[in-house]
Amino acid sequence: MIKYAPQYLDENARPVSAIAPGVLGTTGIETMEVIKGIVDNIKPKLIIVIDSLASKSIERISSTVQLSDTGIVPGAGVGNKRNEISINTLGVPVIAIGVPMVVDAATIAADSIDIFIEKLQDEGNSNEYLNKLKDEDKYGIIRDALIPKEYNLIVTPKEIDDLIENMKDVVARGINFSL
């Protein structure tokens, strides 16, 4: 844009390129391979990667943004670990931006138990067992029970399209302001 249409840009704009490499299941190409090819040919000074994250809390879905300068491992949160995208693998600094968009069934179950316990406690039916249950690692126990039966599903809210639209704008504005 700076080279071909400078009249449409702010005078402080920097040269930036963007791609949407897609996912392996759609393209048949690892995201890391796409980015590595670009790095080898374009030689950028910095890479910003954006990905959705799996959350360990229902409340974090589309309500937080995670920033990291250590890169990202796509798919790691849902047990489908792909190649790491970082300065170690690319030789270029990587800023990772992640937005929680999914949770697994164990998270939903554990959060639901907490909500149930709080409701009982609010109604005055509290006892030591409920307090102990609230403090235990319910997530790990539930996950261990669900995984062998392949019931630990990855879940996203029904309004995910609207949530993505909103978070897309938040992340894009942040990047635009920083560049």
pLDDT tens over the chain, length 179 residues? 778 888 888 877 777 888 888 776 788 888 889 999 999 998 999 999 999 898 888 888 888 999 999 999 887 767 777 889 999 999 999 999 999 999 888 888 888 887 777 777 776 655 666 666 666 667 777 777 777 677 678 888 889 899 999 999 999 999 888 87
Q: Residue 167 has what pLDDT?
A: 92
Biggest alpha carbon distance in the chain? 70
- Residue 11 token pair: 């005078």
Residue 11's pLDDT is what?
79
Distance from C-alpha of 16 to C-alpha of 25, rounded to nearest angstrom: 27
**Please, what's the b/e burial string for 10-36 (b: 16 or more CB within 10 A of its CB; e: otherwise)?**
eeeeeeeeeeebeebeeeeeebbeebb
pTM: 0.73
DSSP string, 97-134: EEEEEEEEHHHHHHHHHHHHHHHHHHTT---HHHHHHH
Q: What is the pLDDT of residue 35?
A: 92
